[in-house]
Structure 1
Amino acid sequence: MVIQFERKGHGMKPSFILSGLFCLFFCVFCLSDPSAGAQPDPGSAPERPELRLTLREAMEAAVDNNPNVRLFKERIETARAASKTQLGALLPNLSSNVRQTRQNVFLGTIGLAPVRTDPFSIFDARANVSQSLFSLSLIQRWRASREALKVAELESESTKFDTMSAVGLLYVEALKAEATVNTRSANMQLFEELLELARNRRGGGMGTGLDTARLEAQLENERQQLAIARSEVERLKINILHGLGFAFDVRLVLTDSLKLEVPEPPNEEAAVVTAMNQRMEVKAQQQRIRTASLTLNSTETERVPSLAAQGDYGLIGNRMHNTLDTYNIGLFLTVPLFDGAREGRISESRSQVNQETIRMRVVSNQVVLDVREALVTLASAKEQLAISQVGLQAALKELALAKERFTVLTAGSNFEVTNALYSLSRARDNTVDAMFRLNGARVNLARALGELEKLN
């Protein structure tokens, strides 16, 4: 902004001087206070609501909101409807009809002339009922549909536990990422302290620029690793929200932490027995075998005679007010003699039974594998955690001694500090990794045993 003063005659007008000073003061005031006249940013994001969850609460929330779990619940309804359809074939079938017609009838030919009756009316109101009295094939089909409903329910339970396990593992992985953020922050604090000490030593003539540059490079490396760890935390929290079926516009806070100790697991033999009794995959496969067997039986019993009853009762006459009641009752015995497609259906059903029996062995082997793998992983994680804790104590002691030498000795001790810092960083990473393996193995073992609902 340019302020011009014009001189006319021998002097400047006072009003012009006051106006110019006022404008100058206003400009300086506005420049010195950036907030003057500032408006709230309409595009700023509102604060997201906070969602605090423990591991147990996260797994329970996944059961109610995950789309996959809800999908399998709808499959239960489909199986229940199919069972009702098969039951309907065993229930009475009742119907009614009313008709009013106007017609004539051809009587034949008399001589060379065709003859017909005069037009007349017929009124007929009738109720019809049919009932299957005995059909072993229909009964077996209904029983098979009930077993299929149980299969759908067990598959839903299996999907529920799979979802709980997936969310639980994501939760543990997010805890690991948060622990990594804490270790990186602690490492940065150490590097900053040593960097300040190196600069003081250099100012006193006891250090070199190389020492300072080396620590600055290491500090920036830790800063980068810290940024990566923080982004990993946010990524895993987004995945947890996705697994829970929640909206992404909430701020997730994990209230649990990685555990250093877990309960002692059962021995291998007892664990396998528990898993075979509690795993939903085993129970579902057993139900599939029963369903396939009943389906085969229903196909084979198509050879068995069936008995049904059918009847009707109604009013018939020329007019609605001029009718007589009539009825018809009958029993029908159906004896199958030959059906060329039946043998093919029987062979197909028998093959299905054999397939489900083979799958049962596959499922059983997978359950045993899951249990043994979880037990081995848990034992290894416990051992790794114990070793990492010893290593962490040693690294802390090494760093304390190196810092002491670095404080009182020459620049040659800088290499000892650098090595000690790397040792400490590696020891912290090993400890966090071992804790993650221990907690992940705890979730996997609970899933392998079918005891996720007992996990805290």
Structure 2
Amino acid sequence: MKNKISLLAAFLMLWGSFYTNGQAVAPFSLQQSIDYALQNRASLQATRNEQRIAKAQVGEIRAMGLPQINGSLDVGDNFIQQQSFLPAEFFQDPNNPNAPEPGTFVPVTFTPAYTGNATVTGSQLLFDGSYLIGLKAAKTYTELSRKTTERSEIEVAEQVSKAYYGVLVNRERFELLNQNLIRLDTLLYQTSIMFENGVAEKLDVDRLRVQLNNLKVEKQKTERLMAVSENLLKFQMGIDQSQAILLTDKLAEVEVDISKVRPQNFEYANRIEYSILETQRDLAELDLRNRKSGYLPKLYLNARYGYITASNEFSNITKTSNWLEFGYVGGQLQLPIFDGLRKHYQVQQGKIALENAKLGFKTLTQSIDLELEQASVELTNALDVLESRRENMALAEEIARVAKIKFQEGVGTNLEVVNAETDLREAQTNYYAAMYDTLIAKVNLDRATGTLLTK
């Protein structure tokens, strides 16, 4: 049902596209981007194919317990007929002087020149401990394949989220650079008028022009970086690079759930890695049971039915009256007696494999605890830095505003304006770097708590 909804959502997004400069632009929120990626990433499609293969393998194993029926038709020409040797005593005839001498052997042909055989054979497995356990193992393996697909989906959601936030930050920074350019260009124009009126020096104009040129170069670099980040997002979504997209989410709308920092009632089962390890442990248990079942007998029901014919004339085997009917039904019991302790050592290996699977839980829980702690600290520090950078940027904006007013009123220097503008751009760069770090830390914490992608 979820796949159908996601497909419908992807269709509506494309259907709802609008056009810019003659090119269709598809709008995407973060959730829509993730949904699109879950349906269109080639790597995920390959993973789902592996899941379908696992389901088909269950059917393959189940088929082993169903009746096995085969038919065959064999017609042949024994162009060199096989012979056997019989003692000469079988051919003794006192009235025949050419009879073979006693103690010798006479070659005799028993095989007819032409033979035919039409047979239908059938067998039914009645009991095999390995088969019953194999069915359970196959279903468990299918579950493992499903969970592996889910883990891949979480990884894709993480990659798309980080790429989406990267584009948002770069676009916000690009817009701010445009505003800075407009403000600095206006200041340069006003200073040029002041220079023409003899109020400012040419050095003041040149300094601002240098600042403006540097800002233009920075804008170009940011624009290229924004294009690269967009292309990365398209790649993570599995969308064509030539498709224009519009991100509908805003940075101001992104919420950081502080309650996830150092969660008190965290369940390890929320992590897909823990769930996968549980399934791997179940598989190890079933594998051990399967190895032990090798000591049990196997019981089969077999049957054969068919016709056979033989003749030294080929025309005779084409007549149905020369075909003889036969049939057989019976049971077969296979009892393992001694295999050189092979199964014993297989069981020992299975026990060790199961022990290793159980030991994996301790390592995994410790790893998750460490990851949670690191992600919580990372987000806490990122929020502190972001708040500090936000205050610094606000202060830098105020300093730049005051420096401009003082210069225009003749109580300040142009150098103060240039330095204030430089400090402002540095504060803005630091702020958006801190904003990106905070968003990445948010995604990492969502991944650590197992809430990044909820079904």
TM-score bracket relative to the smaller structure: 0.7 to 0.9
SS at match of 1:91: coil
Residues 323-376 of structure 1: per-residue CA shift (max 9 Å, x gap) = 344323123232232245434433443343344334333333333333333332
Q: Which residue type is aligned with residue 371 of structure 2?
A: D
Contact 2:72 2:120 in 1 (8 A): yes
Counterparts of 2:34 and 2:260, CA distance in 1: 26
Q: Which residue type is aligned with residue 278 of structure 1?
A: N
2:400 aligned with 1:427: no
Counterparts of 1:64 and 1:259, CA distance in 2: 28
Counterparts of 1:138 and 1:67, CA distance in 2: 35
Kindly report which structure 2 residues correspond to 1:217-256, keeping only aligned pairs within 5 A, or say none.
217-256=210-249
Counterparts of 1:304 and 1:267, CA distance in 2: 53
Counterparts of 1:360 and 1:414, CA distance in 2: 65
Structure 1 residue 157 displacement after superposition? 0.6
Counterparts of 1:118 and 1:57, CA distance in 2: 77
Counterparts of 1:196 and 1:228, CA distance in 2: 24
Residues 278-301 of structure 1: per-residue CA shift (max 9 Å, x gap) = 222211111111112211221222
Kindly report which structure 2 residues correspond to 1:39-188, keeping only aligned pairs within 5 A, or say none.
48-100=23-75, 106=84, 108=86, 109=88, 110=91, 111-112=100-101, 113-116=106-109, 119=112, 123-188=116-181
2:272 aligned with 1:280: yes
Q: Identify the range of structure 1 (341-350 vs 77-86) with the bigger mean alpha-carbon deviation.
A: 341-350
Percent sequence identity over aligned pairs: 19
Contact 1:260 1:435 in 2 (8 A): no
Residues 311 and 185 of structure 1, relative CA distance in 2, 3 Å threshold = same
Structure 1 residue 220 displacement after superposition? 0.9
Counterparts of 1:209 and 1:122, CA distance in 2: 115
Structure 1 residue 172 displacement after superposition? 0.2
Q: Which residue type is aligned with residue 351 of structure 2?
A: R
Counterparts of 1:361 and 1:116, CA distance in 2: 75
The residue aligned with 1:25 is none
In structure 1, stretches of 5+ residues that fail to align are 1-45
The residue aligned with 1:31 is none
Q: Identify the range of structure 1 (56-65 vs 377-386) with the bigger mean alpha-carbon deviation.
A: 377-386
In structure 2, stretches of 5+ residues that fail to align are 1-20, 92-99, 311-316
2:173 aligned with 1:198: no
SS at match of 1:247: coil
The residue aligned with 1:15 is none
Contact 1:178 1:233 in 2 (8 A): yes
Residues 339 and 65 of structure 1, relative CA distance in 2, 3 Å threshold = farther
2:318 aligned with 1:313: no
Q: CA RMSD in A?
A: 2.8
TM-score, L = length of structure 2 = 0.81
Counterparts of 2:69 and 2:110, CA distance in 1: 35
SS at match of 1:310: strand
The residue aligned with 1:213 is 206
The residue aligned with 1:402 is 403
Contact 2:396 2:420 in 1 (8 A): yes
Structure 1 residue 254 displacement after superposition? 1.6
Q: Identify the range of structure 1 (325-334 vs 115-124) with the bigger mean alpha-carbon deviation.
A: 115-124
SS at match of 1:253: strand
Counterparts of 2:173 and 2:227, CA distance in 1: 13
Aligned residue pairs, count: 408
Counterparts of 1:82 and 1:432, CA distance in 2: 51
Kindly report which structure 2 residues correspond to 1:323-402, keeping only aligned pairs within 5 A, or say none.
323-402=324-403
Counterparts of 1:326 and 1:419, CA distance in 2: 104
2:447 aligned with 1:447: yes
Contact 1:49 1:249 in 2 (8 A): no
Structure 1 residue 228 displacement after superposition? 0.6
Residues 375-421 of structure 1: per-residue CA shift (max 9 Å, x gap) = 323333333333333333322322222122111125x5223222322
Counterparts of 1:299 and 1:362, CA distance in 2: 27
Structure 1 residue 240 displacement after superposition? 1.2
SS at match of 2:199: coil
Which residue among 259, 278, 302 is the counterpart of 2:252? 259
SS at match of 1:273: coil
Q: Which residue type is aligned with residue 293 of structure 1?
A: E
Contact 2:386 2:435 in 1 (8 A): yes
